[in-house]
Amino acid sequence: MTKILMVCLGNICRSPLAEGILKNKVNPNTVFVDSAGTAGYHIGNAPDPRSIAVANKYGIDISKQVCRKFTVEDFNNFTTIFVMDNSNYNNVIALAQSPEHKNKVKLLLNFGDTKITEVPDPYYGGDQGFENVYNLIDQACTNIAKTLKNQ
């Protein structure tokens, strides 16, 4: 089983979308997908209504997800940890206990179709921000799903 963890700051906007989008593209019998946040502000909450809405628009239901915080055990429990931006990258790397842990952490948009390297934080923006975030994540997840199929 390949286990993929999507990580952002709050685990209510970007990483829940990344979890839902990648889940929709892979075989659940061979790939497990989860998400977490580096901050604990929203633990136990559902995703942001704007993320739920943009996912719904594309036929994906993320409304049942529950926010949780990233933990050190996640390094052992997951094959790959995809982070949304450089700040998430630094926060996760700071918790790593070994070079093996560090090697598991990758910027999601390293697998994207554009030169953009970070998924922008849409929390304080409008709905257009969520559409943009959806598209950036969707492109990267399409490429990741293809790579997983070829493994």
**Which long-range contacts does 122-126 make (Cβ < 8 Å, 24+ apart)?**
122/13, 122/14, 122/50, 123/10, 123/12, 123/13, 123/48
Nearer to ligand 4NP, 109 or 148 (CB): 109
Whether 8 is catalytic is yes
Nearer to ligand 4NP, 128 or 151 (CB): 128
Whether 121 is catalytic is yes
Residue 10: CB minimum distance to ligand 4NP, A: 3
Instruction: Specify whether the CB–CB gap between 37 and 67 falls below 8 A.
Output: yes
Distance, CA of 141 to CA of 147 (rounded, Å): 10
Q: Which residue is nearest to ligand 4NP (CB)?
A: 10
Whether 85 is catalytic is no
Residue 151: CB minimum distance to ligand 4NP, A: 28
| Token couple for 5 | 């963890």
Residues that bind ligand 4NP (CB under 6 A): 8-14, 37, 41, 121, 123
**Catalytic residue IDs:** 8, 14, 121
